[in-house]
Amino acid sequence: MSHLLFFLLLLPTSSRASCNASPSRLDLAYSQCDKMHSATLPKDIARALGDLQREGFCATPDQQRATAAPLKAICAEPGKFICSNKTGLFFNSQCQLELVESKDIGELASYKNEECAFDQEKADFIQKHRAECGSAWSGKDCEDHLKVIYAADILKMERLHFYTPERVARVKAYFDRAKQKFIDLITASSLVPEYQKPLLLSRIQGTELFLDPNADKTPECMNAGLNPPGSEFYNDISRSIVVVCLGVMANLERTNPQSLLLTMAHELSHSIDPCVLEATEMMALHPDPGLGKKTYPGLLQCLRGGRGTDGCQSSILNCNSPKGIADAIVEFENKAIKDNPLQFANSPDRDQLEHDLAFEMNATPDCSHGKSDQNTESMNAADFRKDPEPVEQIGESFADFMGAEIAGRIAAEDAARGTFNAKDGMDALVATAASFAQLHGGCRQENTHDEHPIGILRINRDIMSNQNYREAMGCMNGPPVSKGAGTTCKGL
């Protein structure tokens, strides 16, 4: 430990420097957006907008100046509207922007100030318990020892700085509402066969919200005092939980509520997506490899946009390729033999392993099968799989579509109550499109071989092919007519 740090630890809390981080590029952009929307003179608006654009951001008109024109332009092709700014960093009229990159959230002054306050609280806690070490311990050894034995207490401190009661209540309310709407729609659905409804209902009802992520329980979040913070929502299917990482909570006040709701519903949808249903069915004595398309008749084919019984011939979304499946079998087989050389020392055992792997992939045609891509940057949300063989994209597209179904139905209910209007729809659509435009190839024009379609396809096709969502957002003239779009699929 440096002499300076040791000295700081000994200072009373009130003597420490206050947490006042310098504004980042994102903070300045938020400020310029706020300034533009609070300005009254056209020249002031133009100046603020110019400053914002020089920082690499764009924004929509504010409440006073919002007209039917921008909403019409957004509805016509939301992907193109958002990607007019190639970064996808596009504020809505409330200056809301869902950040999907961990590094962006880690640069926010508000995040840095909370981290600073947590560090100070942790230092005070360590100092309070230092006497427990005794005189034989050095300062650094004592600190490390206390951090280990009080790890749970320190972790709780960090959570309370970001998972505040207000934020937790807000996220839980959205999750509960999305979950209940799913239950209602599945129960009344004319799309889903009656015999499948009990399974879908049990999976949705059994999926819980998890708001205590840490490095041990949820390593994907990487939240144990690390910077930048994890910014993911994800569904841990094996544990039936939807995890909300710390970075999401840190920027919650700048996240559009309808965009947040759609993301929640997207993650819930993975509990009943076609891949999960087929993987569950695989345990049956005689598994049905067509369970996904039988559970959602016509929907998977419609989303894929191709010909044939699966919609995979000349499709817009990618399906698994025969070579990709073969590559995956070889990769899994080699790994199993390497990890368990004695178990697979004999040829009959290796033959059985290959047979089992082929059976598994044949039984789960709607899961993504292909060899892993070591060149994908896991910490870069905009990156994507680059292997020459495509993998199935229907799982993510299904979740996008169902997320839009739930968000659209809830928005329609709110509109009937007078709590959601056309401007709210414009703001929700801009915020949602902006979040997708930052993911997995985002504003690229050509689809990739990733399990996630490019952002423009996810916006214009997966989401806008849901009529309930489109119309709830105020888009009454049908789906976008751009490349890869132009369709309406039947929802629940």
pLDDT digit string (tens) for the chain, length 492 residues: 444 344 334 444 444 557 888 888 888 888 888 888 777 777 877 777 777 877 778 887 554 444 456 777 889 889 888 888 777 888 888 888 888 888 888 889 989 998 889 889 999 999 899 888 877 777 788 888 898 899 888 888 888 888 999 999 999 999 999 999 999 999 999 999 999 999 999 999 999 999 876 666 776 676 655 667 888 889 999 999 999 988 899 899 999 999 999 999 999 999 999 999 999 888 776 777 788 889 999 999 999 999 999 999 999 999 999 999 999 999 988 888 888 888 877 878 888 888 888 888 888 999 999 988 877 776 678 889 988 999 999 999 999 999 999 999 999 999 999 999 988 998 999 999 999 998 988 888 899 999 999 999 999 999 999 999 999 999 999 999 888 888 999 988
Structure confidence at residue 131 (pLDDT): 86
The CA-based angle 458-419-399, given to 5 degrees, is 20
CB atoms within 10 A of CB 25: 12
Inter-CA distances, 81 with 64, 90, 452, Å: 21, 9, 21
Task: Using DSSP bridges, classify how beta strands 58-59 and 90-91 pair: parallel, antiparallel or unpaired.
Answer: parallel
Q: 466 forms bridges with which residues in the sheet?
A: 489
Closest CA to 87 of 446, 437, 459: 437
Phi, psi of 235 (to 5 degrees): -100, 115
Structure confidence at residue 68 (pLDDT): 56
Structure confidence at residue 216 (pLDDT): 66
Closest CA to 68 of 56, 60, 57: 60
Structure confidence at residue 338 (pLDDT): 86
Tokens of 335: 């790994």
Distance CA 288, CA 378 (A): 34
Structure confidence at residue 278 (pLDDT): 93
Residue 61 in contact with residue 67, Cβ under 8 Å?
Answer: yes
**Buried b or exposed e, range 37-62, using 16+ CB within 10 angstroms:** bebeeeeebeebbebbeeeebbbbbb
Structure confidence at residue 157 (pLDDT): 85
Structure confidence at residue 88 (pLDDT): 80
Distance CA 439, CA 42 (A): 34
Distance CA 461, CA 453 (A): 10
Distance CA 65, CA 57 (A): 19
Closest CA to 118 of 246, 229, 219, 19: 19
The CA-based angle 230-242-213, given to 5 degrees, is 45
Tokens of 480: 């976008």
Residue 447 in contact with residue 462, Cβ under 8 Å?
Answer: no
Distance CA 452, CA 298 (A): 21
Structure confidence at residue 3 (pLDDT): 41
Distance CA 150, CA 191 (A): 52
The distance of Cα 85 from the centroid of its chain, to the nearest Å, equals 21
Identify whether 228 is preceded by a cis peptide bond (ω within 30 of 0): yes
